[in-house]
């Protein structure tokens, strides 16, 4: 599936980034609140990387699965990214962006649920 290639590429980069931020939270930051934000972001991001890859693992499928994968990745970046930026000293108003990422993650799960009810391509 050719259109899955960019999703897999972004998923691989997202996975690497999640591991790096998790390691930074464990070893490179002294502020407990910032470390917690980093751990939370890394956790959500890595879970949704795995979900995005799993959604695309079976060949075929429908467009809703493709949308679910992208929403998992985009939502993961927005959710984790806003927490990561705040953890390294970014402005606190970034916390208002975090729910946008969470909403994208929820929409991804809803697309996946809807794809289970639809027909196969």
% of residues, the chain, pLDDT over 90: 75
**Can you give the pLDDT of all 121 residues of the chain as single tens digits?**
577 788 889 999 999 999 999 999 999 998 999 999 999 999 999 999 999 999 888 776 688 998 999 999 999 999 999 999 999 999 999 999 999 999 999 999 999 999 888 765 4
The pTM of this model reads 0.88
Q: How far is CA 62 from CA 65, 72, 112, in A?
A: 6, 16, 10
What is the DSSP-derived secondary structure letter of residue 95? G
What is the DSSP-derived secondary structure letter of residue 60? S
How far is Cα 120 from Cα 100, in angstroms, rounded to an integer? 30
How far is Cα 51 from Cα 74, in angstroms, rounded to an integer? 12
């Amino acid at each position: 599936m050719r259109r899955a290639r960019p999703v897999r590429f972004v998923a691989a980069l997202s996975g690497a980034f999640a591991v790096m931020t998790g390691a930074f939270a464990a070893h490179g930051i002294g502020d407990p609140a910032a470390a917690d934000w980093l751990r939370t972001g890394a956790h959500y991001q890595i879970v949704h990387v795995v979900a995005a890859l799993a959604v695309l693992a079976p060949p075929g499928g429908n467009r809703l699965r493709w949308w679910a994968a992208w929403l998992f990745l985009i939502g993961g970046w927005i959710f984790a990214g806003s927490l990561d930026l705040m953890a390294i000293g970014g402005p606190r108003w970034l916390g208002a962006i975090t729910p946008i990422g969470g909403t994208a993650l929820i929409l991804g799960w809803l697309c996946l649920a809807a794809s289970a009810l639809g027909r196969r391509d």
